[in-house]
Chains A and B, each alone.
Chain A
Amino acid sequence: MYASIRLLTTVLVLALFALSISLAAKPDRVNTAAGLAAWDQVYAVLVSPRCINCHTATNYPQQGDDRHRHFANVVRGPEGFGVPGLNCIGCHQESNADSTGVPGGPNWHLAPLSMQWQDVNDRPMSSAAVCRAVTDRSKNEDMDGPALLKHHAEADLVLWAWKPGLRPDGTMRTLPPISHQEFVAATRTWVEAGTPCPKGR
């Protein structure tokens, strides 16, 4: 009788051990959900005008909350910096020019086409599609989760979105839907959850 109790206990302990290992190896079901919820917040920022206006799929940037094509026929150019007669930095300086209403930040340029978050008809891509694009290391300049977090926390042109300066009419440009702090926090949660992406197209 003792032998069978010992056997039973060993099996039970082994089973419990196996279970605990398996639980530790897989992300927690709760964590994935939290990660996806956090992604929703990140996505909402990425497709807001201050960000998505320079993440186009076309040869032009957009401007304004209505995301119309940038005036004066400015174009992407071969590297996203415009063309010799019409450079981005010909107007956009290293900081906002509030007296004239032109936004500015260090090294102003378009996100590369690999980082497009819209289709060629200027429609924002779905949450799943943007998530895939953002986590594709062959497209995102080889950034892993922590690198993405650092990018969201510290990159100049990202930070610009929350200090976008005044429009020519003197009014403040609209900010992204959440604060930069919240954006970083959401990014962290998402990264810690293993950068999960929603399913689907």
Chain B
Amino acid sequence: MAKYRLTVNGSEKTVDVDPSTPLLWVLREELKMTGTKYGCGISACGACTVHVDGVATRSCVVPVSLIGKREIVTIEGVASDPVGRAVQDAWVEKDVVQCGYCQSGQVMSAVALLKGTPNPTEKEVDESMGGNLCRCATYVRIREAIASASRQIKGAA
């Protein structure tokens, strides 16, 4: 067990865990933040996606001991970013979700995409979202929502 000071959604949190514990389980069990999901545990599905220093990161494979001082943003905090808000609004507007379990990860990946490429082409969307699995296959509506969010952000800019 070791103590780690983490910055999560702008707040400092201290946890006392086995250093090998993936960030995902620290968030879910120590900090009770269950918005970030466990889907596979091997970074193959993206349900666990958070932002670490702005980089879309698969928290199920990153041991908490490797986070250091980097800032973590989770689905619970992404609305404080205008791009995050636009993406969530677009998701609701386009009625994207079905079971919803993968959607925290989808939103986080989409936000990272739009922050990096505000006007992505269809190909760029598919590439950035290409590692996020949705068994309900809401993909077509995800594309529509990203396009809508992109226009929204451009309009607001």
Direct contact of A and B (CB under 8 A): yes
Task: Please tell me if the beta carbons of A73 and B131 are within 8 angstroms of each other in the complex.
Answer: yes
The winner among A71, A75, A83 for most chain B CB atoms within 10 A is A83
Main secondary structure of the interface of A (DSSP, over half): loop
Residue A113 lies at the interface, judged by CB distance under 8 Å to chain B: no
Residue count of chain B within 8 Å CB distance of chain A: 34
Query: Contact partner of A97 among B62, B129, B132, B133, CB < 8 A?
Result: B62
Q: What is the bound-complex CA distance between A98 and B19, given in angstroms? A: 11
Residue B110 lies at the interface, judged by CB distance under 8 Å to chain A: yes
Task: Please tell me if the beta carbons of B124 and A93 are within 8 angstroms of each other in the complex.
Answer: no
Residue A200 lies at the interface, judged by CB distance under 8 Å to chain B: no
For the side of the interface on A, what is the size category? 20 to 34
Q: What is the bound-complex CA distance between A102 and B56, given in angstroms? A: 16
Instruction: List 7 other contacts, CB 8 Å, given A73-B130, A86-B128, A91-B62.
Output: A72-B131, A83-B116, A85-B116, A100-B42, A101-B61, A102-B43, A102-B62
Between-chain CB contacts (< 8 Å), 9 pairs = A74-B130, A87-B55, A89-B57, A90-B57, A95-B66, A97-B66, A99-B21, A102-B61, A104-B66
Q: Which residues of A contact B (CB under 8 A)?
A: 71-75, 77, 83-87, 89-91, 93-95, 97-102, 104, 168
